[in-house]
Structure 1
Amino acid sequence: MEHISSLNDQQEQAVLHITGPLLIVAGAGTGKTSVVTQKIARLIQAGVARPEQIVALTFTEKAAREMEDRVSALLGQSFLEISIGTFHAFCDRILSERGLDIGLPAPCTIITDTEAWVLVRNNLDRFRLDYYRPRGNPFKFISALLKHFSRLKDEEILPDDYLRYAETLSADSDATMQSDNAVSTEAQRVMEVARAYHEYQQLLLEKGYFDFGDLIIYTLHLFRTRPAVLAQYREDFQYIIVDEFQDTNFAQYELVKLLAGKEGNITVVGDDDQAIYKFRGASISNILNFKKDYPNAKEVVLTKNYRSKQNILDLSYKFIQRNNPDRLEFQMNNPDAYYKEKVSVLAQKVSKRLEADRTGEGIIECISAETLRDEVSDVVNRIEKIQEEKNALFGDCAILVRANDSAESFIEELKRRGIPYTFLASKGLYFSPVFLDILAYLRVLFNPYDDISWYRLFELPLFRVQFSDVSRFSYLKDKRAWGVYEVLRNIRDPRSRMSEKTILAVEKLLGNFDKHIQLLKQRGLNTTKRLYAMLDEIGYRQYIIGNADEAEDTVLERVGILNSFFEQAQQFMRMNHSSSTLQGFINHIDDEISAGESGSVDSIEKSEDAVHIMSVHAAKGLEFAYVFIVSLVAPRFPTIARKEAIEVPTELIKDILPEHDVHLQEERRLFYVAMTRAKDGLFFSFAKDYGGKRERKPSRFLEELGICADSDSKAVIRQEAVGDAFMRPSSSHEAMRSREPVRRMPHSSLPQKFSHAQFQTFQTCPLKYKYQFLLKIPTPGKYIFSFGTTMHSALQQIFKLVKQQKNTSAQSSLFGNAEKEQPAKAGISLEDMRRIFNAAWVDDWYKDETQRLEFKKKGLEWLEALYHDYEKNGWPAPIAIEKGFSFLLDGETITGRIDRVDQSYDGKVELIDYKTGSPKDAKTLKKEDRQQLLLYQLAWEAAQKTPVARLSYHYLSNNSAVSFEASEVDKQGLRKSLSTTIKAIKQSAFEATPGYHCNQCDFRKICPFAKV
């Protein structure tokens, strides 16, 4: 573990604080993550807490993974189920364990935003909308309503609260109706929204669904109405750490307070100056409320910055002070009447001015240009100059934009010059090329006279339509009053004068087209499977993978979009059992686009040596040597304040809202975040002409920084603000340099963690490993996997109930000596098991209804056999269920999940894995079959004191088990094998090893080496 001496005084105080509440105000680049991870590691290593007694809550899953990896590296050993994750993941766990206590179904079915949209659309008549259901576009406000409901849940404003408010408003409006008709209309609007919110919650309950906001709301309800359950979790989780506390919403903070209690060991880490997600700009609300709720809390302010040069920090600090008095530093030094009225703030001397640990001055430069083209050229020229003069990588540079559309010109210029780049955008799925390609093909299948979609298909290289012939299509179309479809059907007409290549390409395209028209007419086929089949037959998945010369980042991006497409389609099918057609899916996408939605995109990990382009929001938590903040003109940054489509009534908000301009302050905090990403160089750029009629004015933020343009458009820097910063004039007349695009050797970001499935796949075929785990190419699901997931999920819930109802909490400690207990009755009925199975049922990928019913019957029969066996011979004594692990082997992290850990009679444990396939016995169980459980034993022994008695596969089809014990020779052999495999993965060229296994491979239709 990293020695405590590596910490500065403030960091050490935070890490060594053990008992009671702690507030850490952590400025940008002050080593916040190091403090949190070392604090967790120290609690464990010093024996103060066991891993499962610590909860660390983060804002994103990515942050949680990073924190988990750092703790693992610090400990140098494995840990089982340390609770590091998002609030939603934590609450999902709580409700899956104890949701039955408040009558919730188990397991919880959590719906995505897309699924919620479809649910509301399919039941729109139930909502009795008038104001929010325009006749021309009845679905227009669905997204706005759902966002509103989500925001209400963030603020813990329940449907009954909203209805009471609406009723009060209606009563007031009745009294003034004759004098003020506007008041009456507003009251009706609010009542409509309140009733819609109530109806939405009723609909979710009827269907057995939760949205993400419900996870926290129901966990709060559980803790408040079941004191014994709250007491249990307070005992289980004795140390609570909350990261990014400034952005935590009201409901999340209420949850943390309940779990910690008044004198709990709770640590919160935040910085009000970096609050960019907090509702209505209430940046200091949480921290001030924490000081009120925990008046005796220790406070540590981290100001030693390990990222940026001092002049960059000074400029950033001077800028953010423009948000005074609505800043924590200001209010703690000199609280004003407004905040004193909201919460008692005690004056204390606090400075948030960051001090650089690194010496020297950073570059601070402003790039002023005449036109957008000049600005783009100058920025890219500067990046190239940095690479040459500073011996820097392209990956050391980041271009930060306020809105994603500002990135397009920079992307095009980087492409033109052959400079590698990554563009991280969270929106725009529906307008991405891959998404539009697939939609175009589906559109012509359902409407052959959709000429626009045909023309999009002609542009795709895989269809091999000659560019010179495309104009002939248009000519013939106009001359003969045909649609494109008629032109294609008459492609052999001599008068068309098409090239032979185009004729052959069109005939192949129409052959697939006719085949797929018939495929769509067949009944009983899984809709998503049809889509996979069609895309494979036209060669689209193969086209997505690209060729060996193509940059792998490009392939990763396309595959990521393809994955998102299938996820969207699958979510739609799941919510539309009766009408889950591809035509319905297309209509759904069109409806969302009409309502102003663009679709969300998952972030894609790419190679490091590329210029990073992203929004400022996406840059939060990152750092770069050189940062370019571009398009700094009004009204791009700061943007114009836009109200929410449906605003939360101020009377219902519980947070402390700022006194002054909420939007401008939030834009300043966002700009401050952008500035503090820079380590060595900070660049601001703007132009006068962005293509409109009017000349653009520089952003007011440049003036606040002391960087502006005078009336003669000559760039000026006020020295008192920037020190020795300098100005670089535009080189608008400099010739734009061009070079051949750089072809880089394909490179993938190898997984940071490995698993049994990865080892097994790589040993079968390295190319399959690349397709599955590196490129993550989507594949059709399989009904057998759906069935396996159902059985595992059902057994997980059943044994959680068994564990809970047998009151085995004393046995749950994985580090202590477990109590010996003879098998006994579980207190769970066969009807309970059936109910849990039905709730856990995964309905995807079955061939037809007959097969679906066959497997549902089979699953219930298997569970019934288990029930009668356990009732007769005694129920197992599980001490862990679905136990996750992560352990280090030669410095590499291996992860997995153990289905069940049972207490054995001899004080040892039994590790169990469920199998839904064909049963095996001791004779037919091969060496490779044993590896999975051997791996589990290595993980268990790396962290646990309780020895393993045996390893068992439980075959559910006939309720049989095969058990074996692992010798030291077995374990040492596996360690050696795993190390060898990991090294091979890291050095592999991922060549194919075709063979008999190709017949069962999900990639056989797109793999050029498959032997089928």
Structure 2
Amino acid sequence: MYDLNPEQRKAIEHGEGPLLVIAGPGSGKTRVITQRIVHLLETVPGLRPEHILALTFTDKAAGEMRSRVSKELPGLDAGPHISTFHAFCYHVLRRRHFERKLLDKVDIWIFLRRRMEHLGLEYYQKLAAPGAFLHDLNSFFSQCQDELIGPDEFEAWVRKRQKEFQSRAAQLDPTERELQQEEIRKQQELARVFRTSRRLIEEAGYSSLGTLISEVVQLWEREPESLDEYRRGFKYILVDEFQDSNYGQVQLLRHLVAPPFNITAVGDPDQAIYRFRGAAHGTFEMFKEVFPAPTEIYLNRNYRSTRKILRASDAVIARNTRDGTKPKLVTENPEGSNVFLLSSSDYAVEASGVARLVEDLARRKKTFRDIAVLYRAHAHRDLLVREFRKRKIPFVIRGLSLLSTTVIRDLLAYLRLVHSPHDNISMTRVLLQRRWKIPDDLAMELRKRAATNRCSIYDALREAEQSLFKNELENTRWPELKTLLGELRKKSLHASVTSILDQMSEHLGLKFLPESSDAACLVAFRKFLADWEEKSETRKLPEFMEYFNYFLEAGGKIEAPEPPESVNAVQMMTVHSSKGLEFPVVFILSVAPRRFPHGEQKPLIEFPDELRKGPVPPANLHLEEERRLFYVAMTRAEEQLYISSVGKKGKKRSVFIDDLLSDPVVQGRDISEIDLDEIPEKKGAEKAAARGTAKGNGPVQPGLFGEHIPGPDSIHPPLAEWALAAPAVHLNSKLRLSATAIETYLDCPLKFKFSHLYRIPTGPQAALTFGNIMHQSVRQYFKLRKDGEVSFDELSRFYLGSWKNVGFEDSYQEETYRKTGLNQLREFTERHNAIPIAAEKVQMEVHFELDMQDVVLEGRIDQINPAPENPSQVQLIDYKTGRPRSQKDADTSLQLSVYALAARKQLGLEPQGLIFYNLTNNQPVASVRTHKELEAVQQKIVAIAGEIRRMIFPPTPGFQCRFCEFVSICPAHEEDF
């Protein structure tokens, strides 16, 4: 047996009865599990491998455990049963003739999105994004399943709440009574949707991963003979990473493990970081309740880190509420170098400083692969990636989405064009590729024609074949592209998606070297398509495109292949991805408020504590989990640890920095502070020398897998170069801007550039179609009002007659919009018929063009009314059909400010009030603007126009990107390695 410490040996050689192993980081946990299996097989008489069940939480972890056991016991014909909880439960159910296919959480989202009309949503629906609340609903239902709560139990709880409310309703004031009544209605909707969604899934022959545990528990309670079969079969059970379990999994083990309770659970409550995956609080307490008086063994001898790193780590994790009997980590490793606390005034300084330190480490004979950079969220690495590229520091990024890589985004653009050649965003991307030899000025002219003629770029190309551009097109390879798309479109009517991809790849000449990142990505994407074909009905492109659009909307991710271990490059990854790994040198990036710890995002649908069957989480659960995550990051380091704090001097810093410095002994003995703002940039020659002396470092372009291997001209358009270059447009004359265009620029300058300068036409959108129809109907109301009160029947006929089936995702969204519009117009009609209106004095759709220095501000004011109190003044009204605008929205609205400027300076009117009229709830929100405020707005508009003239168009990635049409051609969302 290996050289074991006393605690490891005790855990491995433990006899019968429950065993709880609390294994700190770097304490040899995996070795203990593997060796315990070996020890049991070698020492327990009559025990065979199939008598042992080992459970874990990911396929990767199960595969690694199988590999380790097979290496230790190479002569076995069959090894122990090692699998995830879900795979084990599926195996149990399959043996009972369970034939349902399994759906993961993304597939569940897609399944329910296709059946929205059956869910009967009222509170949990959003017109512009019908599936917006499905994640929240599914997360809530998943938590119910983790607690072994089904629709019946949840409905009973809702009925109980309703009775309690009814018993006290009379004592409540009207406002509170209405609030509580609305909450009951929401709970009733949850109960109804929970039951309906479960029924729909089961009737279609599917089951969710979340229900497998409860279905097995129910099976065993219903059929004890089935449970007895497994109890007899599995004499020893081991569970790895027990801190990641939940109530349902503990109850599964309670059923499965019979006296003398030969179960071994291994984990560390200080490393419980997967609550977002369903891990529950207090699983070790649950274990002790289910298996009383277990033998507890602490593995606290760390073989990974230096003593200084461990003392610093303990100073942080000690701030959490913990088991007081758990000993501190100890090690026989040397003291090591101090933990370096870096400080930077901003994130740009941090990126530059960390890159310089990496260069310095390389100069001091550390290989790049020895260095890991960990961060709380993927976006936190962006500035450092730029620095690494600039300095030619090789790096790899783990945990990337395949869908953010250039080669896959290119292939998706081709697939979308085969499905619909009128997809303008995809056509823009494909025409960028040098293979087709479309000059930029010709592409620009085609986009202009498409926008002017309100047609697709494809239509503009076909029209150009017969126009003055015919000669220019003859010098391109447009005919070849048109033929390719046509051939593949015909094939797509009968062939599978994978065969379309194969023919496309062959035609485009995608023959990458086997070790290139593009080749690995292409293989992974083809596997994704093949896996989809297995669960599809037709295997054809139209069905796939519908599925894939929903897949993206559901937040689906295809993980990119892991880089080979042999690559000599800095390892970059999120802290979650680093769990289970170790590196000689670790940098923890961007430790700052709202970054690390990350801001808490409370669920839209809170899980009631009354329904919890395990321990109730503490109030500070989020902060404690973030602290555990920081502890995991620190304990990845073997020899050197750099913690990077960002913030202005004197400002509040991350609580984790305070934790780190809370122990005066650790602060004085184990921490060295470095101010990155005070370290001057090395001269170019020194930097080059530093790079040149790094072990194994050649003159390479950083890539996804280290060295970059260029692909053929048929792929990888110069997207970033094109998107960030100054557009070939002349802005010498007056710049014409609308309030919408200015707001677009403020949201994202690059989006403004794509839309207003590159003139990339986008498709119709449901919200815009609905908004236009509602505006037309409001105008019609005031037109009819001139003759007296308006009949809703007459207005509704106009509304339905004006309806356009354009831009809606599906019939469900269209019908929901249509019904919503009718309800809003009915209330609008009743409200306005009840008040006196001088309809003949109401002005609708008033156009303006306001000359402001070198800017012309243009637009339309929805409605101008005489002010009721002062006929010499007016009210300017803007109708809104989406989210009801608040008072703050009205007070800060650029659009209302522009209306006021135009009214005063061009129309000669004095606005007494600026009003957002929310059609959603038929409530107006009024605001005013002072002359000083309007002067500031005018200066702001002139300043923005100046930035546009100077061609300043950086992307500003953020939450709003989820709703942007240009994401697939935005370099900020592309990993161009």
Q: Matches of residues 1001-1012 of structure 1 in structure 2 within 5 Å?
A: none
Q: Provide the aligned C-alpha RMSD in A.
A: 3.3
Letter in 2 for 1:11: Q
Whether 1:515 and 2:487 are equivalent positions in the alignment is yes
Structure 2 segments unaligned to the other structure (5+ residues): 692-697, 708-977
Aligned with residue 228 of structure 1, among 225, 228, 238 = 225
> Is 1:368 aligned to residue 366 of structure 2?
no
Would the aligned equivalents of 1:27 and 1:302 in 2 still touch at CA under 8 Å? Answer: yes
Q: What does 1:579-978 correspond to in 2, within 5 Å?
A: 582-591=541-550, 593-594=552-553, 597-601=555-559, 604-608=562-566, 609-688=568-647, 697-706=652-661, 720-721=666-667, 723-730=669-676, 731=679, 733-734=681-682, 741-742=699-700
| 1:307 paired to 2:304 | yes
Where 1:156 maps in the other structure, the secondary structure is coil
User: Does the alignment pair 1:23 with 2:20?
Assistant: yes
2:828 is matched with which residue?
none
Structure 2 CA distance for partners of 1:440 and 1:279, relative to 1, 3 Å: closer
Q: In 2 relative to 1, CA 279–493 (structure 1 residues): closer, same or farther, beyond 3 Å?
A: closer
**Corresponding position of 1:352:** 327
Show the 5 A alignment for 1:293-332: 293-324=290-321, 327-328=322-323, 330=324
Change (3 A) 1:456 1:696: farther
Q: Residue 663 of structure 1: CA displacement?
A: 0.8
CA contact (8 A) 2:396 2:706 kept: no
Aligned to 1:113: 105
Q: Which amino acid aligns with 1:296?
A: A
Indicate the residue corresponding to 1:392 in structure 2.
Answer: 366
Given residue 397 of structure 1, which amino acid in structure 2 is its aligned partner?
I
Q: Aligned equivalents of 1:498 and 1:479: distance in 2?
A: 22
Query: What's the secondary structure of 2:591's corresponding residue?
Result: coil
Instruction: Return the match for 1:552 from 516, 520, 523.
Output: 516
| Aligned-pair CA distance for 1:411 | 2.9
* Aligned-partner residue type, residue 516 of structure 2: E
Partner residue in 2 for 1:531: 500
Deviations 1:846-883 (A, max 9, x none): xxxxxxxxxxxxxxxxxxxxxxxxxxxxxxxxxxxxxx
Question: In 2, Cα distance between the equivalents of 1:480 and 1:299?
Answer: 76
Provide the residue aligned with 2:63 in structure 1: 65
Asked whether the equivalents of residues 373 and 571 of structure 2 are also in contact (C-alpha less than 8 Å), the reply is yes
Q: Distance in 2 between matches of 1:587 and 1:64?
A: 34
Instruction: Look up the match of 1:925.
Output: none
Match of 1:891 in 2: none
1:535 alignment partner AA: M
State whether structure 2 residue 223 is matched by structure 1 residue 254. no
1:164 aligns with: 156
Does the 8 Å CA contact 1:129/1:192 hold for their aligned counterparts?
Answer: yes
Aligned residue among 373, 391, 398 for 1:424: 398
Seen in structure 2, the aligned counterparts of structure 1 residues 511 and 74 have a Cα distance that, compared at 3 Å, is same
Which residue number in structure 2 is paired with residue 564 of structure 1?
A: 528
Change over 3 Å in CA distance of 1:234–1:277 after alignment to 2: same
Q: Is the 8 A contact 1:54 1:239 kept in 2?
A: yes
Alpha-carbon separation, structure 1, partners of 2:651 and 2:680: 17
**Alpha-carbon separation, structure 1, partners of 2:529 and 2:278:** 34
1:92 to 75, 90, 106: 90
Which amino acid is the alignment partner of residue 533 of structure 2? Answer: Q
Give the C-alpha shift of residue 294 in structure 1. 2.7
- How far off is 1:11 after superposition? 0.5
Distance 1:465 1:475, change over 3 A: same
Tell me the CA shift for residue 666 of structure 1. Answer: 0.8
- Structure 1 unaligned segments of length 5 or more: list them: 331-349, 708-716, 750-1012
Task: Give the structure 2 partner of residue 900 of structure 1.
Answer: none
Identify which of 98, 101, 123 aligns with 1:131. 123
For residues 24 and 142 of structure 1, the distance between their equivalents in structure 2, rounded to whole angstroms, comes to 39
Please give the alpha-carbon distance, in whole angstroms, between the structure 1 residues aligned to 2:594 and 2:389.
27
Distance 2:631 2:598 in 1: 15
Counterpart of 2:348, as a letter, is R
CA shift in 2, pair 1:139/1:314, >3 Å: same
Contact 2:339 2:642 (C-alpha < 8 Å) held by counterparts: yes
User: Residue type of the partner of 1:161?
Assistant: E
The alpha-carbon distance between structure 1 residues 185 and 47, as it changes in their structure 2 partners (threshold 3 A), is same
Equivalent residue of 1:367, what SS? Answer: strand
Displacement of 1:725: 2.7
| Greater alpha carbon shift after TM alignment, 359-368 vs 661-670 | 359-368
TM-superposed deviation, 1:239: 0.3
Percent sequence identity is 30
3-state SS of the aligned residue for 1:194?
helix
CA–CA distance in structure 2, aligned partners of residues 20 and 719 of structure 1: 42
Alpha-carbon distance in 2 for matches of 1:72, 1:432:
36
| 1:676 partner letter | T
User: How far apart in 1 are the matches of 2:536 and 2:186?
Assistant: 29
For residues 902-931 of structure 1, the C-alpha deviation after alignment (integer angstroms, 9 at most, x for no partner) is xxxxxxxxxxxxxxxxxxxxxxxxxxxxxx
Give the secondary structure class of the aligned counterpart of 1:263.
Answer: coil
Deviations 1:942-966 (A, max 9, x none): xxxxxxxxxxxxxxxxxxxxxxxxx
Residue number in structure 1 paired with 2:352? 377
Conservation of the 8 A alpha-carbon contact between 1:21 and 1:298: yes
SS of the residue 2:22 aligns to: strand
Number of the residue aligned with 1:33: 30
- Structure 1's 565 and 89: CA in aligned 2 closer, same or farther, altered over 3 A? same
Q: Secondary structure at the match of 1:323?
A: coil
TM-fit CA distance, 1:649: 1.8
- Please give the alpha-carbon distance, in whole angstroms, between the structure 1 residues aligned to 2:157 and 2:21: 37
Shift of 1:220: 1.0
User: Against the structure 1 CA distance between its residues 265 and 478, is the aligned structure 2 distance closer, same or farther, given a 3 Å change threshold?
Assistant: closer
- Measure, in 2, the Cα distance between the counterparts of 1:454 and 1:54: 56
Aligned twin of 2:789: none
Provide TM-score, normalisation by structure 1: 0.63
SS in 2 for 1:188: helix
State the number of aligned residues. 688
Matched residue, 1:778: none
Aligned residues of 1:281 and 1:663 also touching (Cα < 8 A): no
378, 381, 388: which is aligned to 1:404? 378
Deviation at 1:621, TM superposition (A): 1.1
Q: Shift of the alpha carbon at 1:212?
A: 0.8
Q: Cα–Cα, structure 1 residues 296 and 476, in superposed 2: closer, same or farther, change >3 Å?
A: closer
Post-superposition offset of 1:21: 0.9
- Indicate the SS of the match to 1:645: coil
CA contact (8 A) 2:375 2:573 kept: yes
Match of 2:427 in 1: 454
Q: In the TM superposition, what whole-angstrom CA distance separates every residue of 1:324-356 from its partner, at most 9, and x where no partner exists?
A: 2xx12x2xxxxxxxxxxxxxxxxxxx3431011
Q: Distance in 2 between matches of 1:695 and 1:429?
A: 42
* Residue 239 of structure 2: aligned partner: 242
Equivalent residue of 1:625, what SS? Answer: strand
Q: 1:160 to 1:384 in 2, by over 3 A?
A: same
TM-score of the superposed pair, with normalisation by structure 2: 0.65
